[in-house]
Structures are given as structure tokens and as C-alpha cells.
Structure 1
Amino acid sequence: MFSKQELQELIETVSQYPIKTFKYSDGTTNIVIKKDRPASMKQKNLDVPMSEAISDSEETPGLHKISTSEIYPEPLQPELIPVTAPMVGTFYTTAEQGKAPFVQVGDKVTAETVLCILEAMKLFTEVTARMSGEIVEIVAEEGQLVEYGQTLFLVKRD
């Protein structure tokens, strides 16, 4: 079990790293910390008092049990498909500085369309759409270090 102080320290530690989701489970307690949700997916104020920390354990005194679906409801537009980072690297929307970006919001794409480049240790990897659709949102920021599995783009599938 986590004390209030331990939970606060865990939240502070997670906030220092460029991760979007942190999950922990020991069989009786499940903790999920999510941050930096895209503006298009935010639905309500997510300020939850520490006394209402996410916990599935009935034995933890002082903690109120709530489900993660109450905190993070499903997106309003379930037809949006995330294009995620296939690796850790630095996110770039152009092949060269000063050039036009590969795609912009509203662009139609095919499975082979290059959306961005990820750079890791001077190796550049093209990320393709892997589906046909329309770019609805560019979630990552130019020059941002992204994690494996992090959402880079939201695409409305054709």
C-alpha cells in the first residue's frame, strides 16, 4: 500500500519524465497516472484530490475508490486513430530545417504517406501513416523527445 506521501512523491517523479502514462499494479492496487493529454481529448477538469487517488484496494484507509473511466472518459471522437512512435527519438515534421512539413492538419494521407521523422543517435526513421485518412491533430511538438508508443498524430480513418 502507498501512503499519501508516497503517492505524492510518485506523481512528482513521473511528472519529471517525458512519459504520457504510468501504470502500476501489485495484484490488489492499480495506479494509473496520465498526463499531457491532447487538447482535443480533454473533456473536463481532471483535478482529483490526493484523497481520491486511483486505487482498487478496499483495505487502504483514507483512499476513496474511483474508476479510471471516471477520470479519463473515452474520447468524444472514437473514430480517431492514433499514430504512435515506433521507437524513442526526437520528433521532426520536416526532413530539413526551413522546408515544408511532411503533413499538416487537414491533409489527406495514405498508408505510405510519410508523416514525420524520428531521430535517435544520428539515425533517421520515417514514420508512415499506415492507413488512409485525414490528419486531425499533430500531438507531438517539433524537436520533442518522444517515447515508444507515444501518440504523434490523430488520424480520422477513411
Structure 2
Amino acid sequence: MENISFRPMTLADADDILDIINYYVTNSTSYFSETPIKKTSISDMLNEKSMLPRYVVLSGKELIGFGYAYNFRSESTFSQTVKLTYWLKDGFTKKGIGSRLYNILESELRGLRISSILVNISSENIASLNFHRALGYKECGNFERIGYKNGRYFDLIWLQKFLK
């Protein structure tokens, strides 16, 4: 994929991020909400002060994805563990873009002395599970049938990667 670039997220990205998220809210069990996300949710996240990396992915000038790390829990005991999430517009997956984004995020997290990354994924999102496994994430938990969306149950699968 040519002309792909990455830059830190800004508040101006909120509408494009919202469009990507709400596509998955409406069309899959990958994003867990059953109702479209409101712009204030994205704006609030972008307004939070955080040292953790947050990036958008551009194809030319079009925002086609984003990824960011956030605290796993608020207690200082877990300060070296983060959760990571990323989303790409439909049609831009399986092109190596997600791997490039994760390389950037993981590199910055290493620099911040983060030791462990967690992700949680719908059992129906086989492509994401395979993607994360290919990047070295190992399954560390499976909560069976705890999600219910679009008339069916799904598992919530947790994966972990150690950076140190």
C-alpha cells in the first residue's frame, strides 16, 4: 500500500474516527456497543491528557484508521500494563497497515517502559485474533458467551504480549 502515513491523533480527527467506529458498531460484533457512539465519547478520549501513544493512519489525506494505548486499570500496581485498540476502515485490512501501526505503538510503549499489552477481541473476529497471534500475542483468557449482540452470543478473548 503506497502513500500510507501515520501521525499523532488530534481533536480534529474525531469525526473520521467516529465514522470508522460506528461502521463496526453497526455491522459486526467486533465493536461491543450496540448503539452508535456519540462524538462526545471520542472528543472526551482525545481531550484526556495521556503520555500513551495515539495515532491515526492516513492514505494520502484520507484518515483510514487509528490506534491507541490506554491504561489497563487506574491503580499504580498496573502502571506497566496497557490495553491497545486499533481500527481500520473496511477495505483497508490485510494490507500490512495494521502491522505497521502496531510497530509504531509498541515501539513507543517500549520507550515508556510498558511491560505488557492486553487486547480483548470478539470470538467472531477471527481476522483480528489471527492478526494479533501473528504479532506474538498469546491467549490469556476466554470469557465464554458473555457478549450478546445481533441476536447471538460470543466469547470475549483476551490476548497478551510482553514487551520486556
TM-score normalised by L of structure 2: 0.25
Of Structure 1 and Structure 2, the greater helix share is in 2
Q: Which has the larger radius of gyration?
A: 1
TM-score normalised by L of structure 1: 0.26
